[in-house]
Amino acid sequence: MKPGWREAAFNDGWVYRDRVPTAEAGIVLSDWLARRYRHSAAELWLERIVNGELDCDGQRLEADRLLRGGESILWRRPPWLEPAISDQWETIHDDGDLLVINKPSGLPVMPGGGFLRHTLTALLEPTCARPVHRLGRFTSGLQVCARSPQTRALWSRQFRPDGGCRKVYQAWSRRVPGLELGQCLTVSSDVVERPHPLLGWIWGPEPLKEQPIRKRLPAHSELELLERTAEGDRLQVTISTGRPHQIRIHLAQLGSPLLGDLLYLLDREISSTATPGDGGYRLHAWRLVAGGLALQSSLPPDWGTF
């Protein structure tokens, strides 16, 4: 293992808790879990029940059962192997309370997507700092953390769409049609929640084909072309709204997804097999102006190498 990396390791497992809605009475438990958590089929949930991993209303289950609605379901997930992560970073600002780091690509900020202990949140525990917001796992750059609840709340408000925070990213995308060097382009299309076979619903661009949309969030991005190469366009992207996966989605909306993005594809399509945590793309939180501070992080060493 190269320096600066934490080896893949087993965690201690985790306990997940759910409550069955009364309106979903009459469904077999394994089927209900498979509908709720699409990463696992009903057969796998049945196997977990038989292995004694699930409780219903405080009682260990030995067999599948028909739900009456309102039950409390507990799953004791056994320890699982978490992938290796980069566990070192550059500190950009630290006043004893507010901590801003240059997060490396590949390091998850918070638990989720198969990560529990191999996260920035867990690595920061000895410092008493906690993340204020969440960069995508493979998004590098300025990650704001704070030690006191008051400072976390203050900065969380500034990260809201009306909070006055100015966030500037760099991104490598497919060629953006109609955009020339030094020119700017504003994208104000909504980020929409669309169906996804693995996750149920996922944030994405407005689809070209007719399909259900559960929710819309207004979003605003300003693009400037910094460099054009045979591989793609290097962009400066300024955002104030900070919607889920906003930059990835807005570039896909334009027909210019991030280079290497496995989830957001051409023609505003979304991969049926990828998830937001899959890597391959290049997105860097470069500059941040908020709370009286103007901060900048260095680009990754391989930023311009393909």
DSSP character string of 212-247: ---EEE---EEEEEEEE-SS-EEEEEEESS--TTHH
- Residue that the structure tokens 């949309």 belong to: 213
Q: Are residues 182 and 254 both part of a single domain? A: yes
Tell me which residue of 199, 198, 194, 219 sits closest to 209, measured CA to CA.
Answer: 194
Per-residue pLDDT of the chain (306 residues; tens, 9 = 90+): 567 899 999 999 999 999 999 999 999 999 999 999 888 999 999 999 999 999 999 999 999 999 999 999 999 999 999 999 999 999 999 999 999 999 999 999 999 888 999 999 999 999 999 999 999 999 999 999 999 999 999 999 999 988 889 999 999 999 999 999 989 999 999 999 999 998 889 999 999 999 999 999 999 999 999 999 999 999 999 998 889 999 999 999 999 999 999 999 999 999 999 999 899 999 999 999 998 999 999 999 999 888
The conformational region for residue 134 under phi > 0 = left, psi -120 to 50 = alpha, else beta, is: beta
What are the tokens at 45? Answer: 């949930």
Q: Are residues 188 and 292 both part of a single domain? A: yes
Q: What is residue 304's predicted lDDT score, i.e. its pLDDT?
A: 83
The pTM of the full predicted model, rounded to 2 decimals, is 0.91
* Residue 180 resides in a domain: yes
* Residue 6 resides in a domain: no
Q: Are residues 203 and 222 both part of a single domain? A: yes
* Residue 90 resides in a domain: yes
Give how many domains the chain has, as a whole number: 3
Could you give the CA distance from residue 282 to residue 188 in angstroms, rounded to a whole number? 22
Q: Are residues 74 and 89 both part of a single domain? A: no
Boundary (domain end) residue, out of 139, 158, 177: 158
Could you give the CA distance from residue 243 to residue 161 in angstroms, rounded to a whole number? 9
Q: What is residue 162's predicted lDDT score, i.e. its pLDDT?
A: 85
Distances (CA, A) of 267 to 108, 197, 262: 29, 18, 14
Cβ 224 vs Cβ 184: under 8 Å: yes
* Residue 5 resides in a domain: no
- What sign for the dihedral angle of Cα 286, 296, 123, 300? positive
Q: What is residue 39's predicted lDDT score, i.e. its pLDDT?
A: 84
- What sign for the dihedral angle of Cα 295, 300, 304, 306? negative
Q: What is residue 55's predicted lDDT score, i.e. its pLDDT?
A: 98
Boundary (domain end) residue, out of 158, 177, 192: 158
Could you give the CA distance from residue 201 to residue 135 in angstroms, rounded to a whole number? 20
Q: What is residue 242's predicted lDDT score, i.e. its pLDDT?
A: 87
CATH number at residue 65: 3.10.290.10
Q: Are residues 196 and 288 both part of a single domain? A: yes
Cβ 213 vs Cβ 261: under 8 Å: no
Q: Which residues are paired to 91 by β-bridges?
A: 101
Q: Are residues 252 and 292 both part of a single domain? A: yes
Q: What is residue 192's predicted lDDT score, i.e. its pLDDT?
A: 97
* Residue 240 resides in a domain: yes
64: containing domain = 11-81
Q: Are residues 185 and 257 both part of a single domain? A: yes
Could you give the CA distance from residue 143 to residue 185 in angstroms, rounded to a whole number? 26
Could you give the CA distance from residue 279 to residue 275 in angstroms, rounded to a whole number? 9
Q: Are residues 284 and 170 both part of a single domain? A: yes
The conformational region for residue 52 under phi > 0 = left, psi -120 to 50 = alpha, else beta, is: left
The predicted-structure confidence for 180-193, as pLDDT tens digits, reads as follows: 998 999 999 999 99
Boundary (domain end) residue, out of 158, 187, 206: 158
H/E stretch holding 186? strand 184-187
* Residue 305 resides in a domain: no
Q: What is residue 2's predicted lDDT score, i.e. its pLDDT?
A: 63
Q: Are residues 153 and 265 both part of a single domain? A: no
Q: What is residue 299's predicted lDDT score, i.e. its pLDDT?
A: 97
Q: Are residues 116 and 185 both part of a single domain? A: no
Q: Are residues 58 and 87 both part of a single domain? A: no
* Residue 301 resides in a domain: no
CATH number at residue 202: 3.30.2350.10
Q: Are residues 153 and 211 both part of a single domain? A: no
